[in-house]
Amino acid sequence: MSDSYQIGLPDEQAMVEFGHKIAAATAGKGVIFLLGDLGMGKTTLSRGVLRGCGHQGSVKSPTYTLVEPYEVGDQRIYHFDLYRLADPEELEFLGIRDYFDEQALCLVEWPEKGRGMLPEPDLIVQIELDGLGRSLSLVPKTEYGRQLADKLLDMKG
Ligand code: ADP
Ligand code: MG
Strand partners, 99: none
- 44 CA from centroid of ligand 2 (Å): 7
Residue 114 to residues 31, 70, 92, 157: CA-CA distances in angstroms?
14, 21, 10, 34
Angstrom distance (rounded) from CA 14 to CA 34:
16
Ligand 1 pocket check: which of 18, 21, 40 to mutate, most ligand atoms within 8 Å of Cβ?
Answer: 40
- pLDDT at position 109: 98
Domains, the chain, with CATH or none: 5-152 (3.40.50.300)
The highest-confidence range among 30-34, 94-98, 100-104, by mean pLDDT, is 30-34
| Residues 111 and 133 sit within 8 Å (Cβ to Cβ) | no
Mean pLDDT of 131-137: 97
| pLDDT at residue number 156 | 64
Q: Classify residue 66 by burial, with Cβ atoms within 10 Å: 0-12, 13-18, 19+.
A: buried
Do residues 134 and 15 touch, judged by C-beta distance below 8 A?
A: yes
pLDDT at 157: 58
User: From the CA of 93, how far away is ligand 1's center (Å)?
Assistant: 30
pLDDT in tens, 46-65: 999 999 999 999 999 998 88
Ligand 1: lining residues by beta carbon, under 6 Å: 9, 11-12, 14-15, 36, 38-44, 109, 132-134
